[in-house]
Amino acid sequence: MDRLHFYSIMNGEGTLDYELYLNTKSLLSCQKDFAAFCNKDELQFQVVHQIEELWMKLIGYTLLDVDEYLLKENTNRVITLFRRVHIALRLMINQLDLLETMSPKEYQEIRLQLGNGSGQESPGFRVILKMHPFLWHSFKSTYLDQHGLTVEKIYNSEYAHADAYVVAEALAEFDELFQRFRFVHMQLIQRTIGMGSKSLKGRSVEMLNEGQRVRFFPELWEIRSHMTDTWGASYGVVRDSIGGH
């Protein structure tokens, strides 16, 4: 097959309505020229990062809407939009798998192209990291405080599987999936450059473990251990066997 011929088709003319509406001319020029790639894996490397940025843009944009609907206590909208956020996060997580088809050596060649860039400079990631305090405040004031509820009441003492609980679980799922992205990304690092190495900023890769411990909504995780402690208090630390031995 004639590579150059197919390369020109891949870029498209950019003149048809489909191409104009989707701005494919710009979109498909966001990657290096085919001739400039350092190896056959670099297109995939750029595309995966760019797609992840687009998902994060969509997630950030959607969370702004979620916040407005939280303040209006519009649970149906909140749940539908959180579902969109959750699906996009799962896509982000699953798409990291693609980069595991790249050998460690091919990544080393690509790495020489990256300057001292760091994923911590990602605009999408940085904006999502800033949103959780606002979401928590909106949820707490509208779904809890206004109704005299607390996290403890909706999960345990007054548990009714009502709106506040369902929205709290959507927040928890967002939190969990964001952490899962960080966890799977660490596995990708391990697979590609190995733990114990230094990032392009000269920092130890292990510093990312700190981010993995961050929880957006700690109260939603603490309630679970609190419940285990209080429910478990009836039997103490070690429970008797059901069989009596």
Query: Of the ranges 24-32, 74-82, 117-125, 166-174, which one interacts with ligand HEM (CB under 6 A)?
Result: 117-125
Instruction: Report the residue count for the chain.
Output: 245
Q: Using an 8 Å Cβ cutoff, are 46 and 102 in contact?
A: no
Query: Of the ranges 57-65, 112-120, 218-226, 228-236, which one interacts with ligand HEM (CB under 6 A)?
Result: 112-120
Q: How far apart are CA 48 and CA 56, in angstroms?
A: 12
Helix spans in 72-162 (H): 75-95, 104-111, 123-139, 151-152
Query: Of the ranges 22-30, 115-123, 153-161, 162-170, which one interacts with ligand HEM (CB under 6 A)?
Result: 115-123
Least distance from ligand HEM to the Cβ atom of residue 189, Å: 5
Least distance from ligand HEM to the Cβ atom of residue 192, Å: 4
Nearer to ligand HEM, 196 or 243 (CB): 196
Is 11 near ligand HEM (CB under 6 A)? no
Q: Which of 27, 38, 48, 149 binds ligand HEM (CB under 6 A)?
A: 48
What is the three-class DSSP state of 103?
Answer: coil
Instruction: Give the residue among 103, 59, 105 at the shortest CA–CA distance from 83.
Output: 59
Instruction: Give the residue among 200, 214, 177, 7 at the shortest CA–CA distance from 96.
Output: 177
End-to-end CA distance of the chain: 73
Q: Which of 25, 49, 90, 226 binds ligand HEM (CB under 6 A)?
A: 49
Q: How far apart are CA 99 and CA 47, in angstroms?
A: 10
Is 208 near ligand HEM (CB under 6 A)? yes
Is 193 near ligand HEM (CB under 6 A)? yes
Is 122 near ligand HEM (CB under 6 A)? yes
Q: How far apart are CA 34 and CA 118, in angstroms?
A: 24
Task: Tell me which residues touch ligand HEM (CB under 6 A).
Answer: 48-49, 52, 96, 99, 107, 118-120, 122, 125, 182, 185, 188-189, 192-193, 199, 201, 203, 205, 208, 211
